[in-house]
Structure 1
Amino acid sequence: MKRSRFILGLALTLLLTIATTPSQCKYHSKNQIARANRTTDKSATPFGSLYAFDDLLREGPEPNSTVVGNGKGLYLSASQDPANFTLVMYADFGFTTGKFKGSSFGVFSRNPVAELPEREMAVVGGRGKFRLARGFVRVKTHYFNAIMGDNIVKYKATLIHY
């Protein structure tokens, strides 16, 4: 009985190891906070503010760089201390070209923007070729204007998926 459990456990481990596929994706996202007639608010992201975004994903930080997909989601300004500016972020990064066309993965994590030069967020799932994805995204701010809220961010995702 013990031996058959051991063999079953070994077989399941082997199947799960063989079935996973690692992938890496790299892209840039430019985010600009809408700001019609701002007159009193000195912070682009006051504590407790919730923002929706719908951004293009590009191969590079340049405005004319090739579009590879889009990022859609929400982020919440979750830090009262400007020196430790932190967002809580849900994002779905979808690809519209290349080998991952029609696939996306989701990030739901703390985004400690003040951590330089790089920070990390958790990948919690995916669809299409990223079905059942897990992993992490390394995030590096390429450009950030704290007053206006504009930014360009580089994402480098490492994913395990089936």
Structure 2
Amino acid sequence: MHFITFFFFLLFSFNTLTSSTSSSSSQNDDTFDFVRPLDPMLLGLNKKEKLSHLRFYWHDIMSGKNPTSIMVVPPTLNSTTFFGSVHMIDNPLTLGPELSSKLVGKAQGFYASASQAELGLLMAMNFALIEGNYNGSTITILGKNLVFDKVREMPVVGGTGLLRFARGYAKAKTHWFDLKSGDATVEYNIYVFHY
């Protein structure tokens, strides 16, 4: 009998402890905000916004012993648009159109064939810059690229470093394309607002 009384006493005590802990923790959860307003000056946003133009050449190299663009998902259909294929990239960005030109950064990310009717790519890449004051800064592109259009426009959705809060657009124009190897050089002109 004493054992049963002791057991119920423990059960009741444990239940009381857990419910009081739960209610105090739920009160703390109600008072904790994970979003709070900030003064923009705390992040250095009191400066005048700048508009910058960046220009470089993007080299997509699929051939040779050291490709910078590798297909990681083959096309799902036997089509001329390669629908469903995905390429991971670590492409050089150079000052001039020649691959031997000065390296100013890397384009890192992927592109995927996202259209069944035309050669239209979904581009998702960071332009990681390594030159001068912009060393360590990035620009992020996310958008549609209709490969055979003369000029393609894609949005800039963000940036880091000296290009924090970047917004704008990129214009891509094919400079050179080898149909046999798939290698290409594309001129990028990027216009971004940033702080």
**Shorter-chain TM-score above 0.5:** yes
Question: In the aligned structure 2, how far is the partner of 1:142 from the partner of 1:44?
Answer: 22
1:143 aligns with 2:172: no
Cα distance per residue 1:73-111 (max 9 Å; x no partner): 110112223xx3110010100111123111011000001
Q: Structure 1: 5+ residue runs without aligned partners?
A: 1-15
How far the C-alpha of 1:132 sits from its partner, in A, is: 0.8
Question: In the aligned structure 2, how far is the partner of 1:139 from the partner of 1:119?
Answer: 5
How far the C-alpha of 1:45 sits from its partner, in A, is: 6.5
Percentage of pairs with the same residue: 36
Cα distance per residue 1:6-27 (max 9 Å; x no partner): xxxxxxxxxx896311111100
**Large movers: runs of 4+ above 6 Å:** 41-45
In the alignment, residue 157 of structure 1 is paired with which amino acid?
A: I
Larger radius of gyration: 2
Question: In the aligned structure 1, how far is the partner of 2:194 from the partner of 2:104?
Answer: 20
Question: In the aligned structure 2, how far is the partner of 1:75 from the partner of 1:44?
Answer: 16
Question: In the aligned structure 2, how far is the partner of 1:43 from the partner of 1:153?
Answer: 24
Matched residue, 2:18: none
Matched residue, 1:71: 107
Contact 1:77 1:86 in 2 (8 A): yes
Matched residue, 1:86: 120
Higher relative contact order (CA 8 A, sep 6+): 1
Q: How many residues align?
A: 140
Matched residue, 1:160: 193
1:23 aligns with 2:52: yes
Question: In the aligned structure 2, how far is the partner of 1:17 from the partner of 1:113?
Answer: 40
TM-score under structure 1 length normalisation:
0.78
Contact 1:56 1:70 in 2 (8 A): yes
1:115 aligns with 2:149: yes
Q: Structure 2: 5+ residue runs without aligned partners?
A: 1-44, 66-74
Cα distance per residue 1:5-56 (max 9 Å; x no partner): xxxxxxxxxxx896311111100011122689xxxx9989611101100011
Task: Tell me: CA distance 1:94–1:45, structure 2 relative to 1, closer, same or farther (3 Å).
Answer: farther
TM-score under structure 2 length normalisation:
0.65
Match of 2:139 among 101, 105, 117: 105
**Which has the larger share of strand?**
1
